[in-house]
Amino acid sequence: MNVTIVDYQSGNISSVINSFTEVAKGKVNIEVTSDINKIRSCDKIILPGQGSFKSCVDSLNQIKGLVDTLKEFAIINKKPLLGICVGLQMFADIGYEEAETKGLGWISGKVSKIDNQQGKFKLPHIGWNEIEIQKKSKIFKDIKNKSHMYFVHSYEFIPKDKSVISATADYSSKKIVCAVEKDNLFGTQFHPEKSDKIGLKIIDNFLKL
């Protein structure tokens, strides 16, 4: 099985590469590339994202054919794709970080700044926070509810269809979305690659889909 981590210059993704390589243990071929043909022919994709929504979308668009290839892979051919942090946020129709920016439009919704209650909650939301699993999810197999995951973000994905939400976390006046699952699309706002053994289990679950 060939799994591709999409490298589109969206910040340091070494921890993503290291974690997936560790879990794969040589049984799964992990490739880091922005090569359109390799992405098209692989079995699963990881779409990481660090930095702002706008900078990540701009970086995707700078690689000719990449957005169309990702759409073909995930939406038309319905192969498994995992978005991490801004990688998840880009599933949305639109984001409002830096400037109003069009997203990939794979899961209808928007990316807005977390309501920090006029400074009551610090932004960015950094560190460990427990998650509440909202529905049975393939990537949360054998993960206990209220497990702690590692977060670094100031913006949150707000999907129109609440049934796609697979986990939430308490931060701000309401629960923020921290994981989604819709058919073959999976996304985590937290960083599984920085979430110790539980995060590695999530990675393992995705690789075993």
138: which 2 tokens? 């393939």
Note if the pTM is more than 0.85. Answer: yes
- Specify the 3-state DSSP secondary structure of 181: strand
- Specify the 3-state DSSP secondary structure of 150: strand
Q: What is the pLDDT averaged over residues 181-199? A: 97
Q: Count of domains in the chain?
A: 1
The string of pLDDT tens digits covering residues 2-55 is 999 999 988 889 999 999 999 999 899 999 999 999 999 999 999 999 999 999
Q: Any catalytic annotation for residue 191? A: yes
Buried b (16+ CB within 10 A) or exposed e, 59-96: bbeebeebeebbeebbbeeebbbbbbbbbbbbbbbebe
Q: Could you tell me the residue range of the domain that residue 142 belongs to?
A: 2-207
What CATH number has the domain bearing residue 11?
3.40.50.880
pLDDT band per the 50, 70, 90 thresholds, residue 122: confident
pLDDT at 121: 80
Q: What gap in Å lies between CA 60 and CA 149, rounded to an integer?
A: 27
Q: What gap in Å lies between CA 119 and CA 78, rounded to an integer?
A: 41
- From 42, 125, 153, 191, the catalytic residue: 191
The string of pLDDT tens digits covering residues 46-100 is 999 999 999 999 999 999 999 999 999 999 999 999 999 999 999 999 999 999 9
User: What percent of the chain has a predicted confidence (pLDDT) above 90?
Assistant: 91
Q: What is the pLDDT averaged over residues 96-109? A: 97
pLDDT at 117: 76
pLDDT band per the 50, 70, 90 thresholds, residue 190: very high
Q: Any catalytic annotation for residue 193? A: yes
- From 42, 56, 85, 178, the catalytic residue: 85
Q: What gap in Å lies between CA 3 and CA 6, rounded to an integer?
A: 10
Q: Any catalytic annotation for residue 153? A: no
